[in-house]
């Protein structure tokens, strides 16, 4: 039953999958709970002791265990293909500029604002990556990677702009400073966001854990960016609709306490950070159910032919 229970969870659009024998015994002593109950046992050729009942709304379907496994297989294949086809990626990683001044010995917080893509009710942020170059101190620097909702102007050069609310994602991590420019990827585990809403992905060395581990380090990092020495800085077509933002905050709480970040406090627009972010659609329950049933129907039709 463990495998089939997992399948029941995976097919989110199906409200129930139960062994038919749990519904009562076939025959005259079976308890009657309405017409739908009776229909469960009227499927020709299936015994309530070797079949499973699937409910999709008011529809009841009886299938054998091997058929249920086939449905799950068709569903997994369909979802994998759909995710590959619809994955959205923001990418400015080819920007060759370097923007200095992040780390325990400089500004604590650098980030990139963006507008979540997609047209459905939700979208999943799978991961994001920034590109950092340390000063060659051959030491490990600790920081916190976060995703927050964002309010105000998405780029520098304005008068408003700050993170808001609790962190939607947070992970304490580190990078090693060997003096080379390197990708620092962050796996967000499929963070659910709302398409059309504004967010910021950032690294900060202002959290208590990072401050304690970094100690008296004065290490600073350059970040890959579109900044070329001129302002306003250029913005890439696939940057996510936002831009580079930063804040020389003293504490983590200052990121969301209503204070205006430095990029909105008289600083110019410095363009984008070099970054990447990958998004996938979150399938709706109805789509999941129809995908599984549709795949099964196609298989049965070909088998019959």
Total tally of structural domains belonging to the chain: 2
pLDDT of residue 208: 97
Give the pLDDT score at 159. 85
Please tell me the predicted confidence (pLDDT) of residue 297. Answer: 52
Per residue in 146-204, pLDDT tens?
999 999 999 988 888 999 999 999 999 999 999 999 999 999 999 999 999 999 999 99
Q: Let me know whether 76 and 118 are in one domain.
A: no
Whether residue 25 sits in one domain with residue 70 = yes
Answer whether 245's CB lies under 8 Å from 162's CB.
no
Residues 15, 17, 21, 26: is their CA dihedral positive or negative?
A: positive
Q: Collapsing DSSP states into helix, strand and coil, what is residue 156?
A: coil
Same domain, 112 and 219: yes
Task: Give residue 203's pLDDT.
Answer: 98
Instruction: Give the CA distances from residue 105 to residues 100, 109, 219, 248, in Å, rounded to whole numbers and listed in that order.
Output: 11, 12, 5, 11
- Could you tell me if 43 and 115 lie in one domain? no
What DSSP line would sit under 231-286, residue for residue? SSPP--TTS-S--EEEE--SSGGGGSSSPPPGGGTT------BSEEEEEEE---HH
Domain residue limits at 41: 2-86+284-304
Query: 150 with 231, same domain?
Result: yes
Radius of gyration, CA atoms only, the chain: 26
Taking the CA of residue 255 as centre, how many other CA atoms within 13 Å lie in the half-sphere pointing to its CB?
A: 30
User: Using CA atoms, how far apart are residues 299 and 240, in angstroms rounded to an integer?
Assistant: 41
In this structure, the answer to whether residues 268 and 154 fall within a common structural domain is yes
DSSP string spanning 97-131? Answer: EEEEEESTTSBSEEEEEEE---SSS-EEEEEEEEE
pTM of the full structure: 0.71
Residues 60 and 103 in one domain: no
Can you give the pLDDT at residue 65? 62
C-alpha span between 71 and 270 (Å, rounded): 51
- Residue 298 CB: number of other CB atoms within 10 A? 11
Contact, 133 vs 181, CB < 8 A? yes
Q: ω before 260 within 30° of 0 (cis)? A: no
Residue 87: predicted pLDDT: 87
Same domain, 221 and 299: no
Domain match, 25 and 113 both: no
Claim to verify: residue 96 and residue 45 sit in the same structural domain: no
Report yes or no: 177 and 128 within 8 Å, Cβ to Cβ: no
pLDDT for the residue 33: 42
Residues 180 and 299 in one domain: no
Report pLDDT for 119.
86
Low-confidence ranges of the chain (pLDDT < 70): 1-85, 284-305
Statement to judge: residues 198 and 226 lie in one domain: yes
Q: Domain of 136: which CATH number?
A: 2.60.120
């Amino acid at each position: 039953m463990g495998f089939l229970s997992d399948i029941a969870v995976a097919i989110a659009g199906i409200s129930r999958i139960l062994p038919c024998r749990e519904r009562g015994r076939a025959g005259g002593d079976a308890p009657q709970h309405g017409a739908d109950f009776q229909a469960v046992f009227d499927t020709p050729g299936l015994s309530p002791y070797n079949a499973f009942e699937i409910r999709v709304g008011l529809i009841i379907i009886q299938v054998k265990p091997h058929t249920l496994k086939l449905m799950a297989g068709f569903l997994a294949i369909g979802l994998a293909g759909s995710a590959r086809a619809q994955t959205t990626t923001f990418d400015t990683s080819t920007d060759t500029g370097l923007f200095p001044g992040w780390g325990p010995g400089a500004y604590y917080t650098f980030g990139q604002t963006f507008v979540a893509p997609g047209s459905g009710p939700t979208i999943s942020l799978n991961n994001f990556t920034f590109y950092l170059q340390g000063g060659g101190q051959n030491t490990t620097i600790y920081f916190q990677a976060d995703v927050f909702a964002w309010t105000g102007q998405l780029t520098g050069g304005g008068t408003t702009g700050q993170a808001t609310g609790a962190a939607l994602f947070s992970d304490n991590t580190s990078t090693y400073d060997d003096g080379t420019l390197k990708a620092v990827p962050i796996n967000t585990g499929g963070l659910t966001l709302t398409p059309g809403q504004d967010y910021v992905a950032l690294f900060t060395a202002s959290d208590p854990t990072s401050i304690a581990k970094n100690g008296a380090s004065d290490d600073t990092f350059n970040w890959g960016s579109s900044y070329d020495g001129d302002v306003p800085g250029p913005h890439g077509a696939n940057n996510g609709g936002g831009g580079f933002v930063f804040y020389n905050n003293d504490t983590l709480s200052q990121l969301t306490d209503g204070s205006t970040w430095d990029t909105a406090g008289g600083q110019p627009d410095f363009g984008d950070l070099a970054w990447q972010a990958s998004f996938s659609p979150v399938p709706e329950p109805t789509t999941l159910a129809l995908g599984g049933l549709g795949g099964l129907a196609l298989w049965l039709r070909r088998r019959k032919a």
